[in-house]
Amino acid sequence: MDIQEIVQRVVEEVKKNMNLPKADTDQKTEEIIYFPEERIQGVDEPHNAASIERAQSITPARIGIGRTGTRMLTTSYLQFLIDHAAAQDAVSRDVSDDFLQNMGLQKLETKASDMKSYLMDLDSGRKLSDESVKFLEKNGDKGKEVQIIICDGLSSSAVEANVVDLLPALIQGLKLKNISVAKPFFIKRGRVWVQDEVAAIVNCDLVISLIGERPGLNTDESLSAYMIYRPTEKTVEADRTVISNIHKEGLTSLEAGAYLSDLIEQMLLAKCTGVSFAQQRSFNM
């Protein structure tokens, strides 16, 4: 039996397990297999099926996927490879220019000239390029209460999946509270700390960065929102507030927009973020 025949048999077995139509062996066109998004119960005759279903309902971890001998089922293994590929693509792929144009976002860049520099030299993603500094100094929306930044971070997929709904909801929520908002923009290969330099240039009260999180095998579309009030050279991580896990299976984009606008209003009144803000909130509750 040659390798082509083995591969064909595996494909047919996967389709059989997933109730998909068999391949037409006479056709030479490329074959595409669609995997269902819902969880598949892969354990044969489980002692307690209810416990597996309950565990699957509260975590995206690979639970109850079953096995054949000492190995994963073929369907589970292929899904693992698909998720792993999606995570890699989220890091290496750029946010498309069409997306930025449709969202009306000006693209700035950091000193990270390529992805290798961004991943290996952390400081390169924390400072704007000289050209971007000059652009922001000349064209930035100065003196507003809030500046919104969108960064690809470690997941371009997270930006494209969430910003379409999140950004308008956030801006609308802030404006309804009579909070002035500077024109948002996008920073390519930006890290969280780049917001400190941006805040100094545009002279805003609070800057919020919507940045792609490190993708995992459960989702490659998770976004985080980092907020800092009037950062200085002495600013540390404890001075920042972060809301994470913004994606369709976590805090949805629309919910995040409304929640973040409420949170920012409280931060502007408190004139702080991070641990200091958390302490004020707990004291006032």
- The model carries a pTM of 0.74
For the ranges 19-28, 48-57, 80-89, 200-209, the one whose mean pLDDT is highest: 200-209
Percent of the chain whose pLDDT exceeds 90: 52
Of the two residues 68 and 86, the one the predictor is more confident about is: 68
**What gap in Å lies between CA 39 and CA 230, rounded to an integer?**
45
Annotated binding site: 192, 213
Q: For 170-202, write each residue's pLDDT tens digit.
A: 999 999 999 999 999 999 989 999 999 999 999
**What gap in Å lies between CA 225 and CA 192, rounded to an integer?**
9
What is the separation of C-alpha 200 from the centre of its chain, rounded to a whole number of angstroms?
26
Tokens of 14: 């996967």
Separation in Å, CA 260 to CA 102, 111, 227, 251: 23, 29, 10, 11
Work out the pLDDT band at 53, boundaries 50, 70, 90: confident
Domain architecture of the chain: domains with CATH: 3-92 (1.10.30.40), 97-284 (3.40.50.11240)
Does the pLDDT value for residue 40 go beyond 80?
Answer: no
**What gap in Å lies between CA 74 and CA 80, rounded to an integer?**
10
Backbone angles phi, psi at 231, to 5 degrees: -65, 150
Does the pLDDT value for residue 44 go beyond 80?
Answer: no
pLDDT, position 36: 60
Does the pLDDT value for residue 159 go beyond 70?
Answer: yes
Low-confidence winner among 76-90, 131-145, 205-219, 225-239 (lowest mean pLDDT)? 76-90
The dihedral through the CA atoms of 86, 35, 159, 277 has a sign that is negative
Q: For 238-256, write each residue's pLDDT tens digit.
A: 999 999 999 988 899 999 9
Helical packing angle, 253-270 and 274-284, nearest 10°: 80
Does the pLDDT value for residue 12 go beyond 80?
Answer: no
Annotated binding site for adenosylcob(III)alamin: 192, 213
Work out the pLDDT band at 66, boundaries 50, 70, 90: confident
| CA-closest candidate to residue 208, choices 279, 164, 265 | 265
By residue count, the chain amounts to 285
pLDDT, position 72: 75
pLDDT, position 217: 54
Averaged pLDDT of the chain: 83
Which strands make up the sheet holding 223-229, listed edge to edge?
106-109, 185-188, 146-151, 206-212, 223-229, 241-246
Helical packing angle, 194-202 and 130-139, nearest 10°: 30
- Residues 6 or more apart whose CB falls under 8 angstroms from that of 65 comprise 40, 42, 43, 72, 73, 76
